[in-house]
Structure 1
């Protein structure tokens, strides 16, 4: 019979090492400071969707504006290259913002159509007032995205996002739109 006098000590050390390593692995990383400002900007952009919907209601123009969307995404790609961000990632992010904004517009127009009227609130001019605000928000969004980008692959990203997003949701429509707007933020590991 073989005798291994140090085997119990080695097994104990190995087990302790596994448990200690497992405890470290299960400790979630802290939420990056860059997430909340990014989500606030995305949410602000969605709120402007309410104003866009009012202008579309009044003008009868369609929500889909393919030429404008292409222009916004092309501009975002250019800004991404200037900021040393991945242009494809930025294009996907901005496309998600556009889709989320349209979700708000379609939802509001459907509600107003069912009610037979839109709210009696001031209507800013789409071209001279709303679009410049959207362009400024896009610039801020890309700055904040650049600060958050290093955390996109963190295994806790989706959890951070769900928690931070829940604090910003004002109603179901805008909540769904915010989920769409943030759909490109986290990259799940394969």
Structure 2
């Protein structure tokens, strides 16, 4: 059973807690140039979730598409080898993007169900969106490869919190962006 009123409260609380923790910890070194393009691509992919949600609202298709997700993750593993990335880490990165995308879709569809309507905006066909998502994955993995040497830097979580906060447009997308970037930094914590 879906309890819609709690979702915004949970998302707001989690987002505020994570943002607040980033405010107190200032990075001692500047963020590497490789972080901003990576976050921009992650955010661009995440914003496509709004359009995907609209297509699924109209078609009645479920948000969960295990066959497509399996294919996307398998492709990421293949592409990882071309970029000298650990295939399992690339798969984890792409899986996080998928989960974040679904978080937005579930949140938006829940809002639309409560309102008994979706926004009256043009809707692309899902088959038009998938090539864009595939192109973004190629860019994402290259940018991830560029950022990989910085993942273990002790300042990585602070860089991430600082740069991610400028991309957050609302609570739902903010929570999804946090999910999408959750494993970018490798810490001993």
Per-residue deviation, residues 87-135 of structure 1 (Å, max 9, x unmatched): 01000000000000000000000000001100111111101x1000000
Partner of 1:42: 42
Return the index of the structure with the highest Cα Rg. 1
Distance of 1:88 and 1:30 partners within structure 2? 29
Q: What secondary structure sits across from 2:114 in the alignment?
A: helix
Deviations 1:17-65 (A, max 9, x none): xxxxxxxxxx823210010110011001011000000000000010000
Q: What's the counterpart of residue 162 of structure 2?
A: 163
Uncovered stretches (5+) of structure 2, i.e. residues with no partner: 1-26
Q: Which has the higher contact order (CA 8 A, sep 6+)?
A: 2
Aligned counterparts, 1:65-144, within 5 A: 65-127=65-127, 129-144=128-143
The whole-number CA distance in structure 1 between the counterparts of 2:162 and 2:116 is 36
Q: Which residue of 1 aligns with 2:62?
A: 62
What is the SS of the residue equivalent to 1:189? coil
Q: Could you say which residue in structure 2 is the equivalent of 1:173?
A: 172
What do the CA deviations read for 1:148-177 (whole angstroms, capped 9, x no partner)? 000000001001000000000000000000
Return the offset for 1:83.
1.1
| Unaligned ranges ≥5, structure 1 | 1-26
In 2, the alpha carbon distance for the partners of 1:99 and 1:183 equals 11
